[in-house]
A and B are shown apart, each in its own frame.
Chain A
Amino acid sequence: MTTRTGLTLRKDSASTVILEMCSVRVGQTLFGIPITHILEIVGGTIPQAVPLAPSFVGGLVHYRGDVLTTVSLRQLLGLPATSGKHDILVLESASGCFGLLVDSVGEVLTVNAADHEPNPSILDERRRTLFDGAYKLTEGLLIMLDPERLDPMRLGAAAA
């Protein structure tokens, strides 16, 4: 819960808005999640599989006395599943907490709000619903994820 209180937004003299994003990697792609939505990062856990669960569910993890449903970003992107340990971002959405399974969590990047661009129209339907545009960084694109759209409740409703 400590990360939530971190400084996330500040305006410098040139009135450019600086945002802090946590970078995560799935496959070759770099994704960003606003750190304001992240409760905690849990590393190196093996989630417990849930038979018959929708495919996007990455399993269950034990988190501070609760059993947390996780969403597998790999599954959502249609990438082959990997076994073994995962890093988990504990995210907060309107309907509660859930975990996001990613390959690895990277550093926190500061981005300039002006560098943001919405989803391009050629993006396929599925990705368009998941992504929230991208930031143009010098080293590449940081694809933004919106925790609200990754909420298992919402994904479940969309799948149904």
Chain B
Amino acid sequence: MDELTREFLIESQEGLDRMERCLTDLEERPQDTELLGEIFRSVHTIKGTTGFLGFKRLERLAHAGENLLGLLRDGKLSANQAIITGLLHLMDALRGILKTIETDNKEGEGEDAELIGRLHELQHPEAAVATMNAKAAAASSANAHTPAPPIVHQARSSVPAIPDPETAPAPVDVRGAVIDSKPPADAASESGKPKTITTAASDSTLRVDVILLNRMMNLVGELVLTRNQILQATSLDPNLTLLSRRLDMVTADLRESVMKARMQPVSNVFSKFPRIIRDLSQALHRKVRLVMEGQETELDKSLLEAIKDPLTHAVRNSLDHGIEPPDVRIAAGKDPEGTLKLRAYQESSHVIIEVSDDGAGIRVERVRAKAIERGLIAAERAAQLADRELLQLIFLPGFSTAEAVTNVSGRGVGMDVVRTNVEKIGGKVEIDSRAGKGTTLRLRIPLTLAIIPALIVRSLNQSFALPQGALSELVHIPPERASAAFEYMEGTPLYRLRGQLLPLIFLDRLLSPGAGSTSLASEARAERDNFIAVLDADGRRFGLVVDGLADPEEIVVKPLSSVLKSIGLYSGATVLGSGDLALILDPGSIASRAGVALRSNDEGHAEVSQEEEESDVMASRYLLVEASERRAAVPLGDVLRIERLPLSRIEYIGYRPVLNFDGQLLPVEDSGGVLAAAGGNPNAQVTVVVCREGTRHVGIAVSHVLDVAAGDELFEAGSQHRASGVTLLNDQVTGIVDLGAVPPLPLNPQITSPQLTDWTTETVA
């Protein structure tokens, strides 16, 4: 049985259950229009869907019922006993056919003319009254060879919420009641079947109120918190360790199951796109083929709702601005039919949804020109930006006014809205485009909303939670550096982050505006550690200065009352593992409260795209490392992670130092002589920068990681040849580590290459 039919069966049976309840109520309140409306809808839905699925018999029957119900609903007829009986018979007949469809996938043969005729008759009240007796006789004659009345009774007493428990044990009876003409032998042959269909569609699934699911999610969240507290409390008691570990596991499983219950396949959203694309492509005279992948990928229901609009927006944009009209495509040597691809897949704790087309792509020069024209970016700045960074400009609100959109090669209609909506649910939007080749928009959605990773920060002797999604890096300012590190431009605090000015917001000052004068506060600040959490929120970048950092924690978001929500700085509250409450800070509103401008102008643009993919931007930025007092640069795009580990972890194959990492071998390059220098001391710590080189990973032993900086190209004096292997970093000529020169391990070549790339990659950026 296909999905559509199965759904139809579940839905229809629910409709009939409802109808049944209403019909019994109707006997007491025959004038209740709401009840009549409900019954009408049930029958109408069945009729509509059956016509579509090609169940003619069901359709005819439902149609006859609908006519009668229409009159009742419009008040042209009032429900009397005869009508209600007729409707109950109709319901039984419909149920019978549905049952047959469920078992045989066919609606079976049978004669409904009598029932249809009776329903027709009931449309004329005077006739109905006159033929009441006749009908009773007809009913009793029906009883003579079928056990109809007991079933009507049974069905009426069935519990509505559970789909059809009464009819399940006696399917043959129901069939018999409806399909009079069915030969008994045939019915008998069916009697063996019910056992095999124990998991009939309507029995194995259950519709559950979302409110109940939310409640369950809350309770699970509560359990997670209690577990966190138990784990902390019992960590010292060996007797309880086992028990608490078990609790930990069960809680984790339970949480996953409840989260799963809230999951829905993305096909629920994807399914509406064929229609949208059909209509749009006709309206825009495009030829578009829609390819959908990964429709079974699941996402939390509320998140699914939230991405509906951004996704529709993106698809419309693709059609409107991405895919060219057929003649243009032919001229460009492409297939006249464009392809729009919707793809969903899960990547660790995120679901990625891609909207890609093979259309015209975004012409970066146009974006640049437009951005300069609209004053979003200074011309000289724009000239320096790499393509990838320029593409991000289309997410700026100023960029997407209607007129700007259609003039610029592509997207732009409310791309800021797309981004805002996705960021609202903790997601991210990325765009990739090649002129003439197409555009890919990638929405990165967290799996769930209710539980988010957060960094716990301290300020005003209180804990606050900062959502990890907005956090890009942390800077520690030790007391002795505090006075020099915080610079002021007429009272506005700033910090130089890799040479660029970062606006700062002091959390304590923001939260207690009255307390103390600025000079006093800054004196106190100079005496203790400060931490700058560099945040990216709604396209704004700023540093939030806090007094201390605690561990990152998975927090359960609890809503705040409207009085506190209206303060505008907190998005919720949570209970920490310690049992304390913490307010969840909303980086976006903090930025707007403090008046941080959108990151549209110069500052911070070098940091726009920090994704791990190889890109031109990354290639020109380097991780500056120091090995035995020599400085060297590693292309940032190749850096996967930085590991600090004891020297004892480094092992040797012959003279080659290697690192055994989760059973995978990593060659460690020690041209700086760091390992050799640390030599005898097994407790010494070494830093290994793990890099990607082709398909393999290599480690580079260094003493320190100094900085991340953009490198400038150097040219040979006179010849203007570009110098390779060196770059200008922070005004110093620095050698670039040649990863390719790291010799492969003396292993079987099959083992070395591809598996190593499966590593979990964390970027350092």
Contact = CB atoms under 8 A, between A and B. Distances in A.
Interface of A: 48-54, 57, 60-62, 64-69, 96, 98, 152-153, 155-156
Contact of A54 (B221, B563, B580, B583): B563
28 contacts: A48-B580, A48-B581, A48-B583, A50-B570, A51-B460, A51-B512, A52-B511, A53-B563, A53-B567, A54-B563, A60-B583, A61-B581, A62-B579, A62-B581, A65-B219, A65-B222, A66-B558, A67-B558, A67-B559, A67-B573, A67-B574, A67-B581, A69-B560, A69-B563, A153-B562, A153-B563, A155-B563, A156-B566
Contacts of B460: 51
B567 A50 contact: yes
A114 B257 CA distance: 56
B564 interface: yes
A102 to B, nearest CB: 19
Contact of B564 (A57, A64, A96, A155): A57
B581 A60 contact: yes
Nearest to A68: B561
A62 B575 contact: yes
B462 A49 contact: yes
B458 to A, nearest CB: 13
B219 A67 contact: no
B231 interface: no
B564 A69 contact: yes
Interface in B581-605: 581-583
Given A51-B512, A67-B558, A67-B573, A57 B581 contact: no
B219 A57 contact: no
A89 to B, nearest CB: 16
A98 B562 CA distance: 11
Given A60-B573, A67-B573, A50 B222 contact: no
A156 B563 contact: yes
Given A48-B462, A65-B219, A57 B563 contact: yes
A27 to B, nearest CB: 24
Among all A-B residue pairs, the 6 with the closest Cβ atoms: A51-B511, A65-B222, A48-B581, A69-B561, A156-B563, A67-B558
Interface in B530-575: 558-564, 566-567, 569-570, 572-575
A50 B583 contact: yes
A98 B560 CA distance: 11
Contacts of A65: 218-219, 221-222, 558
Contacts of B581: 48, 60-62, 67
Contacts of A62: 575, 579, 581
Most buried by B among A53, A68, A152, A156: A53
Contacts, number: 66
Contact of A52 (B561, B567, B580): B567
A65 B574 CA distance: 10
Nearest to A47: B581
Of listed B513, B563, B573, B575, residue having the most chain A CB within 10 A: B563
Interface string B652-680: 00000000000000000000000000000
Contacts of A64: 222
A36 to B, nearest CB: 22
A61 B580 CA distance: 9
Given A48-B580, A60-B581, A152 B462 contact: no
Most chain A C-beta atoms within 10 Å of own C-beta, residue among B221, B512, B566: B566
Contacts of A67: 558-560, 572-575, 581
B447 to A, nearest CB: 21
A52 B561 CA distance: 14
B511 A152 contact: no
A105 to B, nearest CB: 22
Nearest to A69: B561
Interface in B608-666: none
Given A69-B560, A98-B561, A155-B563, 6 more contacts: A48-B581, A50-B564, A52-B569, A62-B581, A65-B219, A67-B581
Nearest to B575: A62
Interface string B498-521: 000000000000011100000000
Contacts of A156: 562-563, 566
Nearest to A62: B575
A53 B564 contact: yes
Given A48-B462, A50-B567, A52-B567, A153 B222 contact: no
A92 B390 CA distance: 54
Contacts of B580: 48
Contacts of B559: 67
Given A52-B511, A62-B581, A65-B219, A152 B563 contact: yes
A73 to B, nearest CB: 16
Contacts of B572: 67
A155 B566 CA distance: 13
Nearest to B568: A52
B213 to A, nearest CB: 15
Nearest to B573: A67
Nearest to A64: B222
| Most chain A beta-carbon neighbours within 10 Å: one of B559, B561, B562, B570 | B561
A30 to B, nearest CB: 27
A93 to B, nearest CB: 11
Nearest to A155: B563
A96 B580 CA distance: 23
A64 B572 CA distance: 16
Contacts of A155: 563
Most buried by A among B222, B572, B583: B583
Contacts of B558: 65-67
Contacts of B562: 153, 156
Contacts of B218: 65-66
Contacts of B561: 68-69, 96, 98, 152-153
Contacts of B570: 50
Contacts of B582: 48
A77 B45 CA distance: 60
Contacts of A152: 561, 563
A46 B559 CA distance: 20
Interface in B208-260: 218-219, 221-222
Nearest to A61: B581
Contacts of B563: 53-54, 57, 69, 152-153, 155-156
A96 B560 CA distance: 12
B564 to A, nearest CB: 6
B254 to A, nearest CB: 15
Contacts of A51: 460, 462, 511-512
Nearest to A60: B581
- Which of A51, A53, A155 has the most B CB atoms < 10 Å from its CB? A51
A63 to B, nearest CB: 10
